[in-house]
Structure 1
Amino acid sequence: MKIAAIVSRKGREFETVDERSSLAEAVDVMHRKAIGSVGVATGRGAIISGLVSQQELTSAIALHGADALSRPVADFMRKPVLSCRCDDNAADVMHVMTRERCRHAVVWNAAGTIAGLVSLGDLVAALLEEARLEAGVLRDLARSRLLAMPG
């Protein structure tokens, strides 16, 4: 399964905050939009310099306490940003995400613009759905062959 199919199904929204925004502002966006991460943009959103997710949030608070919330997201963002392309294979991207211990990847299209964001959960769900579909097709094929056999 290609990443493009997953992005098409889940939507192309990609929320960002400016690198000078406080961690609290990033948390507010994540809460309001019910999402697990936001991109950290530099220069009017032209460049994605990092990602802030629940993982970075908990690390920031563990290391700096509540004071972390008033500091810039750039202090805590994950960088470099894990990214993939629309034509990448979902299983390959999932393998990289697991190896890098990263739950989100920015998706770029062929034109070099952001196509969306995928999470590890998105990939697992899509690959499970694909496996269920394949199992159903194989089961139907086996049934039809059994019914066609002379009895």
Structure 2
Amino acid sequence: MTIARILAEKGRNVSTTQPHRTLSEALEVLTAKNIGALVVSDAEGRVLGILSERDIVRAIGRAGASALNDVVSKHMTARVTTTTDSECVVAALEKMTKQRFRHLPVVMDGTLAGLVSIGDLVKYRLEEMERQTQAMKEYIATA
């Protein structure tokens, strides 16, 4: 199964921010939407970076509360690993696990087209395993 299937179920809306916003402004969005990361994008929808809760905690750990006045671009992860909606869920899950990140922007034709989290992928895999288990039980029951 592909990332497109997950996006078809969860939607393609992505919370974003701009690089000139402050960490405090980004934190307000994260809190209000109860999410763990914002994609940093430009006006054309190109991915410039990603800002996670972890990035904010590290910034505060290094500079104290004054870091909340810093611009997002100072603390975002600028080298963002992305995917396409045609990538296999298992491949995306392996990529996220090996590289130790929890959010994967989906890019099509150079612009942001969605976002999947490790939770989205794990949920899908668990549902898939449950379907397979049920199919095996039904097969055994009819054999």
Is the contact made by 1:7 and 1:115 (CA closer than 8 Å) also made in structure 2?
no
The aligned amino acid for 1:132 is E
Q: Where does residue 35 of structure 2 map in the other structure?
A: 35
For these two proteins, the number of residue pairs brought into alignment is 143
3-state secondary structure, aligned to 1:29: helix
Q: Where does residue 144 of structure 1 map in the other structure?
A: 142
Residues 24-63 of structure 1 mapped to structure 2, 5 A cutoff: 24-42=24-42, 44-63=43-62
Q: Normalization by structure 1: what TM-score? A: 0.89
Q: CA RMSD in A?
A: 1.2
CA distance in 1, matches of 2:83, 2:100: 15
CA distance in 1, matches of 2:112, 2:86: 13
CA distance in 1, matches of 2:11, 2:125: 17
Point out where structure 1 has 5 or more consecutive residues left out of the alignment.
146-151
CA distance in 1, matches of 2:6, 2:92: 12
Is the contact made by 2:22 and 2:72 (CA closer than 8 Å) also made in structure 1?
yes
Q: Where does residue 18 of structure 2 map in the other structure?
A: 18
Q: Which runs of 4+ in 1 moved over 3 A?
A: none
111-120 vs 124-133, greater mean Cα deviation: 111-120
Identity %, equivalent residues: 33
Which is higher, the Rg of structure 1 or of structure 2? 1
Is the contact made by 1:30 and 1:36 (CA closer than 8 Å) also made in structure 2?
yes
Determine if the alignment matches structure 1 residue 129 to structure 2 residue 127.
yes
